[in-house]
Amino acid sequence: MFYNSNRSEDFSPIAKFHLEQRENPQKKIPHPFFSNRTINCICTLDIEAAKPVEVIHDPGLIGVDKLAIEVPIYGPESDIAGFLSSLRNSEIGKWGKSATVQLDAQSDAKAFVQFLKNRWSVLIEFNPSRLYDPDGCTLVPVEGVSRIVERVIRDIFEYAGNALPYFAFNSEGDPDWDNWDEDWKAQILISRLDATRDFLIPEKRFSLDLYRDIRPRSAKATRITYGNGGYAELWEGVYAGRYGAVKFYDKYRKARKDKIPNLPPQGLKRFEYCAGRSELDVAHIHNLSMLDANRFNRLLKLAWKKSNLYARKPLQGAWAEMILSSGADHEELLTCIGALFCKENGISFDVSKEVQKKIRNLTSRAGIDLRRSLSQYGLKRVQLNLEKGQLNYLDWSKH
């Protein structure tokens, strides 16, 4: 036979762990919860010896938006069903393998909890920034994530019975909830992390619609969601799955829809990158102990490069500035700008052949080719600056 269950058990790290634990129930045994490749990376990688990454320091405007962790459970005889039913303020899933827990009543912060039998661990997915700033939109810094994770674990497992985390037992296999293992962070696997960066853009002519022709790497297409009045509220790539996806949206409008008490300033745009295990491996973020500012910034900069949002773009209506600088008289300028605006937006506007000729001459002097979209023209262009979290203004006439 091609499949041998005994051989599979011999080579499965989780199966070997449970087998050893059954043979030695009173002794805590080192656990291989990570794959061999991950363990080898953790043991051999010296991230400090690698080329350092410039860390972006912008408190509250850079951090983690959503996080999914796996907490290893001690002992195959743990009462998982009893653990899920013991969760306070929770709703049990259809098959009794998951639950949604209310973490904080003030911010309505919730966590999705699921038991992973094949890994004998509990998956917890939540937004640490909602606990860091319950009434606002401030992002939790990387340095503060572990404290919030500890708070969430203690809150969820407080009445868990014998289904406790592996690091909550001493070397003899006895539960010790007050004294966790010193390396408890290294035992928590990170399976999802949303790296987030906020941009303060007061420029009224800036719009996410400027990037409708920008397609992120590995994305099938670009999708823009419009709100009331045709305002572009969300720019995102279209992917086969959710991991590796990037999006850029108006945080002020979203916070107003979500009725968050402390609204962010108008013009606040948020960039998010949903990193799964494969994306986290590139930045060498395998567990909670490896989540530091250096690795996080490496992940964020890889995501920014992948998004292609660093492209230089003209502001909306920048083509009109080129026509105004052509030196024509006032009446010709107004006629030309009005006619081109209607043409660009598909509005019917009939003009005589003589006026059409004047428009062609005027646009030619301004350096505009009518065969191309007007959105591509402008003497001044803008570029999103990841490090500063703002717009850079570029004088295109010097390029």
CA nearest neighbour of 193 among 280, 265, 260: 280
> DSSP secondary-structure letter at 29?
-
Q: Say what percent of the chain tops pLDDT 90.
A: 37
Distance CA 108, CA 88 (A): 14
Helix axes 353-366, 330-344, angle to 10 degrees: 90
Q: What is the pLDDT of residue 15?
A: 45
CA nearest neighbour of 130 among 7, 261, 286: 261
Mean pLDDT of 374-394: 82
CA nearest neighbour of 279 among 152, 194, 161: 194
pLDDT at 185 exceeding the cut of 60: yes
Where in the chain are the domains?
33-307, 313-398
In order of 102, 233, 304, the CA distances from 229 in angstroms are: 35, 11, 29
Distance CA 287, CA 268 (A): 31
In order of 122, 319, 341, 373, the CA distances from 345 in angstroms are: 53, 14, 6, 10
Q: Which of 101-110, 115-124, 149-158 has the lowest mean pLDDT?
A: 101-110
Q: Say what percent of the chain tops pLDDT 70.
A: 77
- 63: helix, coil or strand? strand
Contacts of 342 (CB under 8 A, 6+ apart): 348, 349
State pLDDT tens for residues 78-114: 667 677 777 776 777 655 678 888 887 666 788 999 8
Q: What is the pLDDT of residue 3?
A: 34
pTM of the model: 0.78
Q: What is the pLDDT of residue 198?
A: 96
State pLDDT tens for residues 267-311: 999 999 999 988 998 888 989 999 999 999 999 999 999 999 999
- 234: helix, coil or strand? strand
113: left (phi over 0), alpha (psi -120 to 50) or beta: beta
In contact, 358 and 376? CB cutoff 8 Å: no
Q: Which of 41-50, 302-311, 373-382 has the lowest mean pLDDT?
A: 41-50
Q: Which of 58-67, 164-173, 337-346 has the lowest mean pLDDT?
A: 337-346
- The phi, psi pair for 246, rounded to 5°, reads -120, 150
How high is the mean pLDDT of the chain? 80
